[in-house]
Structure 1
Amino acid sequence: MSQGRSVTLARSGLVSSPHYLSAMAGVRIMDAGGNAIDAAIAANAVLNVVQPHGCGTGGDLFMLIYDAKSDGLYGLNASGRSPAAATLDWFKANGHTTMPQRGILPVTVPGVVDGWQMAIDRFGKLSMDKVLKPAIRYAEKGFGVGPNLHAAIENILQQSWCHDSWREVYAPNGEAPAEGSILKLPELARSLIQIGDKGRDAFYRGKIARALVEFSEKEGGLFTLEDLAAHQGEWVDPLSITYHGYTIYEMPPNTHGLSALQMLKLVEGLNLGEKFPTSEAIHLMVEAKKLAFADRAAYITDPAFMKVAPERLLDEDYIATRRALIDPRKPMLSIAPGSLEGDTIYLCAADGKGNAVSLIQSNYMGVGSGLVVPGWGIELQNRGAYFSLDPEHANCIAPCKRTMHTLIPSMAFRNSKPEIIFGTMGGDGQPQIHLQAYTDLINFGMNIQEAIEAPRWIHGRGMPDQPEGLQVETRFPPRLLGALSRMGHPIQRVGAWNSAMGYAQGIVINQENGLLMGGADPRADSAAAGF
């Protein structure tokens, strides 16, 4: 398979991000004395400015951090909860039969800023104000609008749910900023300056919090100052499996990292062959996805509300029972969960001292709710759209509850040290892309850039109202797609390099000499930069 870009090689530090300005900001922070944690947060903050159709300061955040000093891997769940007043009875009484998708009601407490503070306080070398300086500069002075951002804003402006508060910030003249123009975000700069000066309390207890609650009340939302003041992220233990000599780590619930691990364990016991791509291997992986997603729908939610321990879904005997349902010749048409009775951004960073970060952040559905807090430039996420209003559903709405999350940063260790740092945007496609990337790297021997550039598939629905199918990039050989179609897979072609297939980033660390090898996704404005 041909490879369009070279792997980025560096020794002192490397950042792979879906935007080149973000990657360079992270590298500069490391070159100025910061470590991989400082670099990752600086790069993330810049993405909040230059890629508003993927993330925002009003979103959620998850991180896996390997700290070389303590030789430990730490998971950070910086996702927010529903308001205390968000009861099932309230939604039913107000005429809702399904969870609203846009507007103020699916907004949950933003966790990003608290997550930045927690990571910097525990593992960073620099202060918050120094780490946020690159993002503040781009928000104040402006940055160039590329074709991807122009197209995204143009599309959002055509949507009925796009609120005037969002239009005023990103289309101040009534239309999408032209390619090659300069976009300034002074209100967002104001927020970032406050956060840099006063830390996380500026967001959860200060002027920003009061503005958010006032806006929520105006829009008919349920937020109170107490909801924001009570927010606290948490350090969690990652889940892991062994896979062909590697230990692969994912975040535990409320994320669906568990689904990625299930898929990998399911295919570990199957014959994927030795060459990519084949219709037989893709078929087996799609079937593994179906089984894992059936369990996801039945069991995964806020861990405080889960009725089963996540580890039970990774039990070897349970996986073997589920694997036995896979027919190597034809697809499953319906899948029940196993019985246990009895538009996002991803980036990664590594430094020459051995520290590594896998970071993912999102508003969900591109710009999230379609709302921006007036005067502060903060886009509000709509993660609550994932809640169910079915009282029997594991992810049913409840007060102060974290919804099931699609955000999953990952790392793979070999010989007890991090070797692969990987992740992607892509909603429900994320664990499917993890499956493809890890098999490309481990089973098929690709380098990180080659694995990221490889043509991708995603099984599911492009949009909630679309039929379920196997979406494929058209760079797959026609003969292979024909074979999958004859097996019974409904093929949906989506183009050669399609954003629906995610923007993946990755770093591989050479354990012999410490060389950092970065890959970046050409489906976005990505760059892997190092020094």
Structure 2
Amino acid sequence: MRNFEKATRSVAVSRHAMAATSHPSATLVALQIMEAGGNAMDAAIAASAVQCAVEPGSTGIGGDCFVLFSPGGSDKVIAYNGSGRTPAALTLEWFNERGLTEVPRQSPSAVTIPGAIDAWTRLHADHGRLAFDKVLAPAIRFAEEGYAISPRVHRDWLLEEEVLAADENAARIFLPAGRAPRIGEVHRQPELAATLRRIAAEGRDGFYTGPVAEDMVSYLRSLGGLHTMEDFAAARGDYVTPVATDFRGYTIHECPPNGQGIIALLILNILSRFEAKGDPQSPDRLHIEIEATRLAYAARDALVADPDKADVPMDELLSDGLADRLAAMIDLRHALTDLPPFEMPLHRDTVYISVVDRDRNAVSFINSVFDSFGTGLVAPRSGVVLHNRGQSFSLKAGHPNVVAPLKRPLHTIIPGMVTRGGRVEMPFGVMGGYYQALGHAHLISKVFDYGMDLQEAIDLPRLIPRSGGTFVEAEHTLPAASAQELERRGFSIVPAEGPIGGAQAICIDWENGTLIGGSESRKDGIALGL
């Protein structure tokens, strides 16, 4: 039971429906959509669209998304890959000719064709119930009439002032007074409102053809980009087969590569080789989690890529043999020093949404522009913030994740879903780019290994290995004794640059017919139910 003398919050509990997001307005809109007759898919899309307005640093219609969906509470989980591909003309040679060894953030070469709107319109057509214009209406209202700046949104916005100032369109829209809006100030995005209204009326064509696409293409090409109207018109997401593993009697589902969900499953497979006992913040348990993550991330960076363009050994990554070999490498006496080199993306910005409706349709939905405000480039007339997901490509010839025409990059954003006994148990997800695979495993382990409620598990101190070496970033709330013992074992514990990640989840209590939700205390959001 929760310690009510501790400064945290209770889980949300309700009977009929629930939404958990990282912004209060998005959570409230999701509930309103369901009260108006919409289902969980309608609510998730509406919440994501709202966050594209009120949390513009974290997500946008110029980004990508991935979705897991359990219709009617079954264990037949549907997965959708809404990530975009490179322009047809973009090649490794293009980068080599310019002497580039990595994809620059604030450049058109970092912009893959955004996949979010194609995903929203396809998923709504196939699984939604409410009219699409009604689903997008709240987001249009916020963008047009304005929204009050919340604390975490302000904090993240403030950190990107220099990036936004470097693009005249971004500066005009997002630095209206020459600075980031302050907490409580009202901000408007009329260009975004007009674009959303067009999408509401015309569907995917309102984004991928016509004036909005022309605006994005012309601006990217003016900066040296290779994007064409044909690239945008051809953009399509895919229904894909989820990957899954069993953990402590539950089945954990993830989207397959090009996302890193399979690496969350690999971490869980490694953790399943160890008994969970005692304090979840003990040095031994943290040591195991750190090493499982370092080993799994090394495998990720060597092997995970777009399976349409590279051979990704998914069966091997999920095999008992690999989990056994990696678990056997973990020595609680000292940190491992012999690891493959890392090429990991750093912390990034994303929104994650969990929704369950009265019919127990469950949606796990994640939408992102990667870095806060993506590239920091904004199309001038449509107000679309262009993401920088292309930065995740390798520029090393022969690497599975090397940049190539019409290719999807390795993606950090991953929704999760738990099932057991033929029914869905929990849509869940974790924000925070590089942290996400570890975050999934950390959350699942704390709930199913240690019996924590969702909010307790979400609120626990977090840490994450840095790329290369034995450096580990830790939040300041990590117990000092555990940090000191990890240092003694050879890890270098360094303060995290800021709060690590974010999470939302909703557990379905089938016996009582109720829902139990948790939402990230490090962000502005909340879980609420009907």
Q: TM-score, normalised by structure 1?
A: 0.95
2:400 corresponds to which letter in structure 1?
A
Q: CA deviation at 1:308?
A: 3.6
Counterpart CA distance in 1 for 2:197 and 2:507 is: 34
Counterpart CA distance in 2 for 1:285 and 1:176 is: 37
Counterpart contact for 1:106–1:385, Cα < 8 Å: yes
Deviations 1:221-262, CA, capped at 9 Å, x for gaps: 010001001111000111000011000011100001011000
Aligned twin of 1:518: 517
2:509 corresponds to which letter in structure 1?
N
Aligned twin of 1:132: 136
Counterpart CA distance in 2 for 1:490 and 1:271 is: 25
Instruction: Say which of 433, 447, 450 aligns to 2:453.
Output: 447
1:475 corresponds to which letter in structure 2?
T
Give the direction of change, closer, same or farther, for the CA distance of 1:177–1:308 in structure 2 (3 Å limit).
Answer: closer
Instruction: Say which of 39, 43, 48 aligns to 2:47.
Output: 43
Q: CA deviation at 1:277?
A: 1.6
Instruction: Say which of 301, 324, 328 aligns to 1:324.
Output: 328
Counterpart CA distance in 2 for 1:387 and 1:164 is: 27
Q: CA deviation at 1:514?
A: 2.5
Q: CA deviation at 1:467?
A: 7.3
Q: Does 1:362 align with 2:368?
A: yes
Q: CA deviation at 1:176?
A: 1.8
SS at match of 1:231: coil
| Equivalence map 1:283-294=2 (5 Å) | 283-294=287-298
Aligned twin of 1:313: 317
Instruction: Say which of 469, 472, 475 aligns to 2:471.
Output: 469
Aligned twin of 1:529: 528
Q: Does 1:375 align with 2:374?
A: no
Q: CA deviation at 1:330?
A: 1.2
Counterpart CA distance in 2 for 1:257 and 1:69 is: 21
Aligned twin of 1:340: none
Counterpart CA distance in 1 for 2:107 and 2:157 is: 17
Aligned twin of 1:198: 202
Give the direction of change, closer, same or farther, for the CA distance of 1:365–1:468 in structure 2 (3 Å limit).
Answer: farther
Aligned twin of 1:385: 391
Q: Does 1:494 align with 2:529?
A: no
Q: CA deviation at 1:14?
A: 0.6
| Equivalence map 1:24-103=2 (5 Å) | 24-68=28-72, 72-103=76-107
Counterpart CA distance in 2 for 1:522 and 1:320 is: 35
Counterpart CA distance in 1 for 2:18 and 2:202 is: 29
Aligned twin of 2:346: none
Counterpart CA distance in 2 for 1:227 and 1:410 is: 30
Counterpart CA distance in 1 for 2:495 and 2:96 is: 39
Instruction: Say which of 424, 429, 436 aligns to 2:430.
Output: 424
Aligned twin of 1:244: 248
Q: Does 1:353 align with 2:340?
A: no
Q: Structure 1 unaligned runs (5+)?
A: 338-342
Aligned twin of 1:15: 19
2:8 corresponds to which letter in structure 1?
G
1:345 corresponds to which letter in structure 2?
V
Q: CA deviation at 1:69?
A: 7.8
SS at match of 1:329: coil
Deviations 1:477-498, CA, capped at 9 Å, x for gaps: 2111111111111101238xx4
Q: CA deviation at 1:38?
A: 0.5
Q: CA deviation at 1:431?
A: 0.8
Counterpart CA distance in 2 for 1:298 and 1:323 is: 18
Counterpart contact for 2:164–2:174, Cα < 8 Å: no
Say which is worse superposed, 93-102 or 278-287, in terms of deviation: 93-102
SS at match of 1:403: coil
Say which is worse superposed, 113-122 or 265-274, in terms of deviation: 265-274
Deviations 1:466-523, CA, capped at 9 Å, x for gaps: 976211122222111111111111101238xx43x11111111112123111101110
Deviations 1:35-87, CA, capped at 9 Å, x for gaps: 11100000000000000111011000000001118762100100000000101
Aligned twin of 2:506: 507
Counterpart contact for 2:195–2:382, Cα < 8 Å: yes
Say which is worse superposed, 199-208 or 145-154, in terms of deviation: 145-154
Q: CA deviation at 1:97?
A: 2.5
Give the direction of change, closer, same or farther, for the CA distance of 1:139–1:468 in structure 2 (3 Å limit).
Answer: farther
Counterpart CA distance in 2 for 1:83 and 1:200 is: 18
Counterpart CA distance in 2 for 1:372 and 1:411 is: 34
Aligned twin of 1:482: 484
Q: CA deviation at 1:134?
A: 0.6
Counterpart CA distance in 1 for 2:325 and 2:158 is: 48
SS at match of 2:212: helix
Q: CA deviation at 1:354?
A: 1.1
SS at match of 1:492: strand
Counterpart CA distance in 2 for 1:146 and 1:336 is: 41
Say which is worse superposed, 375-384 or 486-495, in terms of deviation: 486-495
Aligned twin of 1:147: 151
Counterpart contact for 2:62–2:116, Cα < 8 Å: yes
Counterpart CA distance in 2 for 1:518 and 1:3 is: 18
Counterpart contact for 1:102–1:161, Cα < 8 Å: no
SS at match of 1:369: coil
Q: Structure 2 unaligned runs (5+)?
A: 342-348
1:83 corresponds to which letter in structure 2?
P
SS at match of 1:363: strand
Say which is worse superposed, 129-138 or 153-162, in terms of deviation: 153-162
Counterpart contact for 1:3–1:450, Cα < 8 Å: no
Counterpart CA distance in 2 for 1:155 and 1:323 is: 39
Aligned twin of 1:334: 338
Aligned twin of 2:237: 233
SS at match of 1:291: helix
Deviations 1:445-483, CA, capped at 9 Å, x for gaps: 00111111111111115xxxx976211122222111111
Q: CA deviation at 1:267?
A: 0.9
Counterpart contact for 1:156–1:162, Cα < 8 Å: no
Counterpart contact for 2:302–2:400, Cα < 8 Å: yes
Counterpart contact for 2:15–2:514, Cα < 8 Å: yes
Counterpart CA distance in 2 for 1:162 and 1:40 is: 33
Instruction: Say which of 270, 273, 288 aligns to 2:277.
Output: 273
Deviations 1:297-320, CA, capped at 9 Å, x for gaps: 111000112324312211112221
Counterpart CA distance in 1 for 2:75 and 2:266 is: 26
Aligned twin of 2:463: 457
Counterpart CA distance in 1 for 2:75 and 2:419 is: 12
Counterpart CA distance in 2 for 1:273 and 1:483 is: 18
Say which is worse superposed, 468-477 or 369-378, in terms of deviation: 468-477
Say which is worse superposed, 468-477 or 312-321, in terms of deviation: 468-477
Q: CA deviation at 1:361?
A: 1.0
Root mean square deviation of aligned Cα? 1.6
Give the direction of change, closer, same or farther, for the CA distance of 1:35–1:160 in structure 2 (3 Å limit).
Answer: closer
Counterpart CA distance in 2 for 1:282 and 1:211 is: 49
The count of corresponding residues between Structure 1 and Structure 2 is 519
Counterpart CA distance in 2 for 1:476 and 1:17 is: 25
Counterpart contact for 2:447–2:454, Cα < 8 Å: yes
Counterpart contact for 2:49–2:139, Cα < 8 Å: yes
Give the direction of change, closer, same or farther, for the CA distance of 1:244–1:103 in structure 2 (3 Å limit).
Answer: same
1:44 corresponds to which letter in structure 2?
S
